[in-house]
A = this chain, B = another copy of it.
Amino acid sequence: MKVADAEGVDALTMRRIAEMLGFTTMSLYRHVPGKSELLDLMVDAAWGETEHTPKGPWRDGLEFFARQMWAMYRAHPWMLQLTTSRRMPGPQAMTRLDAAFAVVSELGLAPEEIVAVVTAVSHFVDGVGRTMADRVKAERETGVSDEEWWSTTDSLWEHFTPDRLPMMTHIWNTGGFERPLDEFEFGLARVLDGLVAFVEAEERPAVRRSTCL
């Protein structure tokens, strides 16, 4: 995890891990069936580092849960480039999920609704996390972050801006991209507002059941 945090998950090879531990590469396979299982363990270990969501007002609890996830993703961006090869969350992630369920359990929601509420929050955090992780990776790989990047952007800009992207040019010219709102803060507040509206509605809107897959 130390390597993945610092140099990205691509730098995390079995040989590298072994070298760092002072053993040979193949010795690792005495303790772990393969690399993907090892990555699964890393992911669950990261979940284990987060704090347990406390009981309390449900909106605060959900917000806490989201912020913990966000902190986790910021500390370990590699989590978002991994496909969770197993289909179920690991035990640590399960524990955290359970606590999040508990927070919304006193609202009299149907069980599917409890799941849906927590899932909606997770999906949002996953989404922000992903673009954050991509940004981190791109910065590490290309080295430079601002000086070179924005200059090339400028030239690109002139290339296809004219009238094919009217709104973008307008936003660009009025500085909307220069001082953006915090994507996580803004989105989280909206998602939670939307959930409040759902929970407080006298008759809750029906939602389609999941089609298979």
Residues of A within 8 A of B (CB): 80-81, 83-88, 91, 94-95, 97-99, 101-102, 105, 110-116, 119-120, 122-128, 130-131, 133-139, 141, 149, 153, 156, 160, 164-168, 170-171, 174-177, 179-183, 185-187, 189-195, 197-198, 205, 207-211, 213
Contacts and interface: CB of A to CB of B under 8 A. Distances in A.
Give the copy number.
Answer: 2
Contacts of A111: 170-171, 174-176
Given A98-B166, A190-B198, A197-B197, 7 more contacts: A94-B165, A98-B167, A101-B167, A105-B167, A111-B174, A127-B127, A194-B195
17 contacts: A81-B83, A83-B133, A87-B135, A87-B149, A94-B160, A95-B164, A97-B168, A112-B179, A114-B176, A119-B186, A120-B124, A120-B190, A126-B131, A181-B208, A181-B210, A182-B208, A193-B194
